[in-house]
C-alpha cells in the first residue's frame, strides 16, 4: 500500500540495470520452475538509472511471479532491457512523463493474456484474478508505485491467448555514473559461514531469502511460524542466527519469538524483518530499539542482508 500510494521510503542510487538483473538472476530462475523457460535479452550498452535497487528487484520478481502464474502448463518468460528516447507527444501519453532518455525493462510471457477490462484494473491494490490463497493482489501495485515514484511509467500490452508484456520506463542516468554498481553487487558481501534459522510465513519470500543466504554461504534452516521456529531452536543447539519476520500467524509474532529464543539461548544472534518501517510498527516492537534486536526493512537485497549479518558478528565455526 505504501508503494502504490508513492509513500514507500526509497533509497535511490545510480545503478547499472543490467548488473542488477544479472546479480538477481539466480532468484528469478528459482521462481520459474520447469516447464517454464526464462530467457535473458539484456542490451550490451551500459544502462544506468537512479533507483532503489531493492525495490527494483522486488518489482522484477513480482512481474516474474505473475508471468509464471499465467502459464500453468508452461511457456517462456523473456526479460529484456534497452534504451528509448521519448519525444514530447509520446512522453505526455505516458503519465505526463518529461521527454528524454529512458531505460526500458520488459517482461514478456507466453501465457493466457488478459482482457481489456482486466488490464485496466491490474494496478489496483488487492485486485487479483487468482484463486483465493494464490495471490494478494499487491504485486503489480508495488511495481506501479515503485516505478511512478522513481519518475517512470509502466506499460502493459496483453490480449487473451496472446500473452502479456509489461515494460518499465525508468529515467536514464549518465552511463559513466553506473560504473559504481556495474560489477556483481553481491561479489564482496559474503559473510562468514554460519548456520541460520529463517522464520517466514510467506512461501515466496522464504524461497527468495533461502536462495540469497545460500548464495552468501550460509547453511539454512526454515520454519513457517514462531511456534515451529521455537521447536527447531529447542532441538538444534547448533544455530548461530535467528532471522524472523515480525508479523506472523499462530498467535506469536517475531518479537515474541526473539525474546523467547534469547531466554532459551542468550548467546543467539537475532535479526528481525518487516515490510513495515520500524517506525510504523507498534510501540515496544523491539525492532531497532537500543539493546533489543537489529531490524531490516523489506524488501532487501542480498548485499543489505549480508551487511546486517556481518555487523552482528555471528560466531564462526570450524567444520
For position 3, what pLDDT does the model report?
A: 40
Cβ–Cβ under 8 Å, residues 258 and 271 = no
Would residue 151 count as lying in a domain? yes
Task: Enumerate the β-bridge partners of residue 227.
Answer: none
For residues 43 and 135, membership in a common domain is answered with: yes
User: Residue 150: is the preceding peptide bond cis (ω within 30°)?
Assistant: no
Q: Which stretch of 164-173, 232-241, 272-281 has the lowest confidence by average pLDDT?
A: 272-281
Q: Is residue 5 part of a domain?
A: no
**pLDDT for 203:** 83
| Claim to verify: residue 71 and residue 143 sit in the same structural domain | yes
Task: Specify the DSSP element, H or E, that contains 38.
Answer: strand 36-41
- Chain-centroid distance of CA 41 in Å reads 21
Res. 120: pLDDT tops 70: yes
Q: What is the model's pLDDT at position 123?
A: 79
DSSP class of residue 256 equals H
Q: Which residues contact 215 (CB under 8 A, 6 or more apart)?
A: 26, 186, 302
Shared-domain flag, residues 220 and 166: no
Full domain range(s) for residue 96? 13-177
Among the ranges given (53-67, 179-193, 258-272), the one the predictor scored with the smallest mean pLDDT? 179-193
How wide is the angle at C-alpha 250 spanned by C-alphas 248 and 255, nearest 5°?
Answer: 45
Whether residues 145 and 275 share a domain: the answer is: no
Tell me the pLDDT tens digit for each residue of 275-294: 877 665 554 555 544 457 89
Residues 104 and 169 sit within 8 Å (Cβ to Cβ): yes
pLDDT of residue 90: 93
CA torsion through residues 126, 130, 135, 139, sign = negative
Question: Which grid cell is 81?
Answer: 532491457
pLDDT in tens, 105-119: 999 999 989 888 888
Is the pLDDT at 183 greater than 70, yes or no? no
Give the model's pLDDT for residue 185: 43
Q: Are 126 and 139 in contact (CB under 8 A)?
A: no
Q: Which residues lie closer than 8 Å to 66 by C-beta, 6 or more apart? A: 139, 140
* CATH number of the domain within which 286 lies: 3.40.50.2300
Q: Which band of pLDDT confidence, cut at 50, 70 and 90, is reported for residue 137?
A: very low
Per the structure, how many domains does the chain have? 2
Euclidean distance between CA atoms 307 and 85, whole angstroms: 37
Residues 6+ apart with CB under 8 A from 95: 148, 153
Query: Distance between CA atoms of 5 and 156, rounded to whole angstroms?
Result: 20
Q: Tell me: do 38 and 145 sit in the same domain.
A: yes
Report the candidate in 188, 156, 168, 146 with the shortest Cα–Cα distance to residue 58. 146
- The packing angle between helices 254-264 and 226-235, to 10°, is 20
Which span out of 19-23, 86-90, 121-125, 245-249 was modeled with the highest average pLDDT?
A: 86-90
- pLDDT > 50? residue 317: no
Its pTM surpasses 0.75: no
Q: Does the residue 128 lie in any domain? A: yes
CA 158 to chain CA mean position, Å:
24
The per-residue pLDDT for 164 is 94
Cell numbers placing 309 = 549479518
- What confidence category does residue 2 fall into, taking pLDDT thresholds of 50, 70 and 90? very low
Q: Within a domain: residue 189?
A: no
Q: Is residue 190 part of a domain?
A: no
Determine, yes or no, domain membership for 202: yes
Average pLDDT over residues 128-144: 59
Average pLDDT, the chain: 81
d(CA 239, CA 252): 21
At residue 280, the pLDDT reads: 54
Q: Do 33 and 171 belong together in one domain?
A: yes
Asked if the model's pLDDT at residue 122 lies above 60, the reply is yes
Work out whether the CA dihedral 44, 179, 217, 10 comes out positive or negative: negative
Closest alpha carbon to 60 in 151, 157, 140: 140
d(CA 59, CA 249) in angstroms, rounded, equals 25
Percent of the chain clearing pLDDT 90 (strictly above):
41
CB 64 within 8 A of CB 164: no
**pLDDT score of 5:** 40
Amino acid at each position: 500500500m505504501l508503494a502504490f500510494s508513492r509513500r514507500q521510503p526509497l533509497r535511490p542510487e545510480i545503478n547499472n540495470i543490467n548488473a542488477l538483473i544479472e546479480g538477481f538472476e539466480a532468484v528469478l530462475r528459482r521462481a520459474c520452475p520447469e516447464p517454464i523457460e526464462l530467457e535473458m535479452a539484456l542490451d550490451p550498452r551500459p544502462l544506468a538509472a537512479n533507483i532503489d535497487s531493492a525495490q527494483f528487484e522486488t518489482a522484477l520478481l513480482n512481474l516474474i511471479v505473475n508471468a509464471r502464474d499465467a502459464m500453468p502448463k508452461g511457456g517462456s518468460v523473456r526479460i529484456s532491457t534497452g534504451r528509448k528516447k521519448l519525444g514530447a507527444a509520446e512522453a505526455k501519453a505516458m503519465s505526463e512523463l518529461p521527454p528524454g532518455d529512458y531505460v526500458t525493462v520488459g517482461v514478456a510471457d507466453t501465457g493466457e493474456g488478459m482482457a481489456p477490462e482486466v488490464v485496466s484494473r491490474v494496478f489496483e491494490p488487492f485486485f487479483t484474478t487468482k484463486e483465493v490463497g494464490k495471490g494478494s493482489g499487491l504485486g503489480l501495485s508495488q511495481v506501479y508505485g515503485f516505478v511512478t515514484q522513481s519518475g517512470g511509467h509502466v506499460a502493459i500490452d496483453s490480449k487473451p491467448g496472446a500473452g502479456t508484456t509489461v515494460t518499465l520506463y525508468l529515467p536514464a542516468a549518465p552511463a559513466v555514473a553506473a560504473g559504481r554498481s556495474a560489477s556483481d553487487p553481491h561479489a564482496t558481501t559474503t559473510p562468514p559461514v554460519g548456520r541460520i534459522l529463517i522464520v517466514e510465513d510467506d512461501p515466496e519470500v522464504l524461497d527468495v531469502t533461502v536462495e540469497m543466504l545460500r548464495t552468501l554461504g550460509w547453511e539454512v534452516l526454515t520454519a513457517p511460524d514462531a511456534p515451529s521456529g521455537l521447536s527447531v531452536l529447542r532441538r538444534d543447539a547448533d544455530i548461530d542466527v535467528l532471522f524472523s519476520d515480525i508479523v506472523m500467524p499462530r498467535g506469536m509474532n517475531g518479537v515474541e519469538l526473539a525474546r523467547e529464543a534469547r531466554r532459551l539461548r542468550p548467546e543467539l544472534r537475532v535479526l528481525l524483518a518487516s515490510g513495515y518501517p520500524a517506525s510504523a510498527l507498534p510501540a515496544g516492537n523491539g525492532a531497532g530499539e537500543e539493546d533489543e534486536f537489529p531490524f531490516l526493512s523489506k524488501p532487501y537485497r542480498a548485499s543489505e542482508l549480508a551487511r546486517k549479518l556481518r555487523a552482528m558478528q555471528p560466531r564462526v565455526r570450524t567444520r
